[in-house]
Structure 1
Amino acid sequence: MAQGFADRHGHKPTAAQLRYLRRGLRQPGGKLPLFDEHGQQISPQTILSCVRAGWAEPWFENPIKPDWLVCKLTPGGRALFELSR
């Protein structure tokens, strides 16, 4: 899966990035989670690195929790998984 895919800077996704991005595949609009399947907050470093790579993009600001970065998959993020089909 996604082994040969790299971002515009030649970086390949890590296992943590792939786990995060995969969760947006079945969500409306490609919404990415703030918490993992165990209820733990997704690392902001993972989220920001996916945004910098172009695999995710900020979707909207949460007025109640402005420090939470709500993101969605980009076409490039979806492509990571389409390559393995």
Structure 2
Amino acid sequence: MAKSRRSPSRSTPSDAQGAWLRRGLDQPGGKLPLFDERGQRVKKATVEACLKAGWAERWFDNPLKPDWLVCRLTEGGRAALEGDGRTDAASTGDAAEEMDESRHDARQGALI
């Protein structure tokens, strides 16, 4: 009997997915951002994977930008984040601090 080549679905989000989903934890209605901390669009593959896993859901259509997926965090997404052990305030702050440091380092490099 041949084995299936499909990989099993993830029970926890990847680092990129988790980072995007965590940003909805403190937003009204669990709104997930369209752009990352650097002002770049969140990758469509990240959004679609989270939608497929049930961690996010489409919230509403944007008539001015129909290609933008406006999403919000689901209860399943909150549960998946609790399962990855990185939803406490300290770890979220550490990740934000690391991002700030990397942006600072990048600016320093650009100035040299």
- For the criterion TM > 0.5, the same-fold answer is yes
Bigger radius of gyration among the two: 2
- Structure 1's unaligned 5+ residue stretches are 1-8
Q: What is residue 77 of structure 1 aligned with on the other side?
A: 77
Q: What is residue 42 of structure 1 aligned with on the other side?
A: 42
- CA–CA distance in structure 1, aligned partners of residues 69 and 51 of structure 2: 10
- In the TM superposition, residue 22 of structure 1 has moved relative to its aligned partner by 0.4
- Structure 2's unaligned 5+ residue stretches are 1-7, 89-112
Given residue 49 of structure 1, which amino acid in structure 2 is its aligned partner?
A
CA contact (8 A) 2:16 2:46 kept: yes
- In the TM superposition, residue 80 of structure 1 has moved relative to its aligned partner by 2.2
Q: CA RMSD in A?
A: 1.3
Greater fraction of residues in helix: 2
Q: Which has the higher contact order (CA 8 A, sep 6+)?
A: 1
SS in 2 for 1:21: helix
1:1-85 equivalences under 5 Å are 10-11=9-10, 12-83=12-83, 84=85
Greater fraction of residues in strand: 1
Percentage of pairs with the same residue: 60
45 and 10 in structure 1: CA distance in 2 versus 1, 3 angstrom threshold:
closer
SS in 2 for 1:78: helix
CA contact (8 A) 2:57 2:74 kept: yes
- In the TM superposition, residue 13 of structure 1 has moved relative to its aligned partner by 1.4
Q: Give aligned pairs, total.
A: 77
**Runs of 4 or more off by more than 6 Å in structure 1?**
none
